[in-house]
Structure 1
């Protein structure tokens, strides 16, 4: 399930692409803008303020971002729809389900991947199971398995191969949320029927840029219920009235793009597409493993760039914050994340702040 990308600069070299990062251990909350993203956004803001917004450049940034994300997850751009939120993309996938369908999700899954099914109506039922047992809970009655390949609250990496194999045996569709993965964990979108990714975390794009990668069999069952002018084969000829020609591929599920966000997203995605995926994985998970060792935490079943531990009263999170380290807390746990702009010094700073 690892997408193959061209050999390129190391993740360690990528630190030079960012102006910040020291003590920032919260890519799982929001990524940092690269120098190239900052420049692109400032140039667009200056041009717009001077009365010269460039609509053609906005459209080009959207298509460049689509193509780069497709390359990152190993599929063609014609299979990728653009949007702005995970929940909206999840709702689009829900249109493919028959009345009374069963959706299987992990316990404690991120709500944007669950609520659209819970409130879809039509008798659609949501069943939960522990993430590490999810594959064993897929049955012939399961229509769709929806899961995050990396859990937001815990950083746990799902056994995507086992889940996909179980779904295939039972004829179920698969929906993978890769928001907490793409950018450090190689993901092959062709292994799933749908992959959703919001790019403002590990891909360091502005918030408001998300992608939905679709298999042919899922695309054929979905309805473009949120269609607007950008779902047309030629968006600029699809601005008025009900009679438009929908795009023949995944673009018919496009949402009207937040233009400035895509201006910043294109150089961010360019950066991550230029990195060696295996190197970025080794760099981020290696830092996380060193931090885990320093805390005396057991290693996870599958390596993760996110480390979480019990912190019910927020004491450890407060220690990190007091030391000037940006971290986060979720579900009674402290949470840190190591990205390409981090290094061993960040590990030492965090361990020192925690008195280790």
Structure 2
């Protein structure tokens, strides 16, 4: 990536910031857009309300294009958790159904399914993670004709394992199950073509690899998923003509927009639009290549040092997240705290140190990290 992108992120001036899997800094373009919108409301109140709506719709269009889906298949919610829960709660469950997932999923993609298990007597089948990877063959063996949902993350938050979405999605489709994917740890860092990957529903949010303010979650619903799901949290903008306040019997929207219950913070979408535009212009393939170069550099630089690479580096399984473990007894918290004193920002995740560069990072950032590791 070039210096022009890096210059948009003030955090790179103060830190070696390698923590995009937690929260990414936002670019100055997003900050300026949010500030301008709030300043406009301070002066003009609701006079420019239509522009708020139009900005949100432009975000919808950008997200849809980046995921290779239609705009009316994207709904904005508060966060990934809301998205997963709305899908889990919107299906009709019965005893005997089962859900197939990964053992190490982030809680946002576990608790909604656990609640379904407990409420309906549904079986929740979890495929193990061993040495930083998931055996996809083992996972596929868990899918059968009673499987109602296969729910996984595109990239695992604590290992960086990247799932073969097309292969898993095809297996789910073969038994008529819905394939639900948490894309928050990939969207903005790797390319997606959700229809080609047989993804029926996807959930993500703005504050990680999309480099935007927190508070903009999103759902993708394929037509197939929309036919099976009922929106469970509806409000005044969930209906076909929201501004017709008198017609209380009008239908709910037939698209994913039925999942948008009410207004959100308009300013956030002004920031999101700028961040999505930057990522889209840069190109997912270009970002993926850049991050592959940085993570390859990192892993090569650790050779001979007291660190074990936990993340799979097998082509197709490697992602932009690299997790490592100290072989000499230092804990991940100790290492992360030491690095923070050097203004190098990473995350401890259990016994692992998670390193997550983005497109604003460069090879000098990786060199500085490796030199500072205790």
Count residues with an aligned counterpart. 345
- 2:146 is matched with 141
| Structure 2 residue 98 is matched with structure 1 residue 98 | no
CA contact (8 A) 2:160 2:318 kept: no
The 1:11–1:150 alpha-carbon spacing in structure 2 relative to 1, beyond 3 Å, is farther
Alignment of 1:283-322 (within 5 A): 283-296=290-303, 297=308, 300-301=313-314, 302-310=317-325, 312=331, 314-322=333-341
- 1:160 is matched with 165
Alpha-carbon displacement from aligned partner over 1:70-118 (angstroms, at most 9, x marks no partner): 0110111011111112222112212224322211110011111111121
Say which SS state the counterpart of residue 257 (structure 2) adopts.
Answer: helix
Alpha-carbon displacement from aligned partner over 1:38-81 (angstroms, at most 9, x marks no partner): 11111112222234353222211211111110011011101111
Q: Which structure 2 residue ranges, 5 or more long, are not aligned?
A: 129-133
Alignment of 1:130-279 (within 5 A): 130=128, 131-132=134-135, 133-190=138-195, 191=197, 192-237=199-244, 242-256=248-262, 257-279=264-286
**TM-score calculated relative to the size of structure 1:** 0.91
Structure 1 CA distance for aligned equivalents of residues 2 and 168 of structure 2: 29
Alpha-carbon displacement from aligned partner over 1:134-186 (angstroms, at most 9, x marks no partner): 22322222111000010111111112222112212222210011100011111
CA contact (8 A) 1:320 1:354 kept: yes
Q: Which structure 1 residue ranges, 5 or more long, are not aligned?
A: 1-9
Q: Report the alpha carbon displacement of residue 12 of structure 1 after superposing the two structures with TM.
A: 6.3
Q: Report the alpha carbon displacement of residue 305 of structure 1 after superposing the two structures with TM.
A: 0.9
Q: What value does the CA root-mean-square deviation take over the aligned residues?
A: 1.9
Structure 2 CA distance for aligned equivalents of residues 145 and 308 of structure 1: 25
2:83 pairs, out of 89, 101, 104, with: 89
Q: Report the alpha carbon displacement of residue 35 of structure 1 after superposing the two structures with TM.
A: 1.6
Say which SS state the counterpart of residue 39 (structure 1) adopts.
Answer: helix
The 1:203–1:313 alpha-carbon spacing in structure 2 relative to 1, beyond 3 Å, is closer
Say which SS state the counterpart of residue 335 (structure 1) adopts.
Answer: strand
**TM-score calculated relative to the size of structure 2:** 0.87
Structure 2 CA distance for aligned equivalents of residues 20 and 237 of structure 1: 46
- 2:123 is matched with 125
Alpha-carbon displacement from aligned partner over 1:227-266 (angstroms, at most 9, x marks no partner): 111212233335x785343222111112433322212111
CA contact (8 A) 1:106 1:128 kept: yes
Alpha-carbon displacement from aligned partner over 1:260-303 (angstroms, at most 9, x marks no partner): 22121111111111122211100012101111111235552223
Structure 1 CA distance for aligned equivalents of residues 368 and 141 of structure 2: 41
Say which SS state the counterpart of residue 189 (structure 1) adopts.
Answer: coil
The 1:114–1:241 alpha-carbon spacing in structure 2 relative to 1, beyond 3 Å, is farther
Q: Report the alpha carbon displacement of residue 11 of structure 1 after superposing the two structures with TM.
A: 6.5
Structure 1 CA distance for aligned equivalents of residues 352 and 70 of structure 2: 38
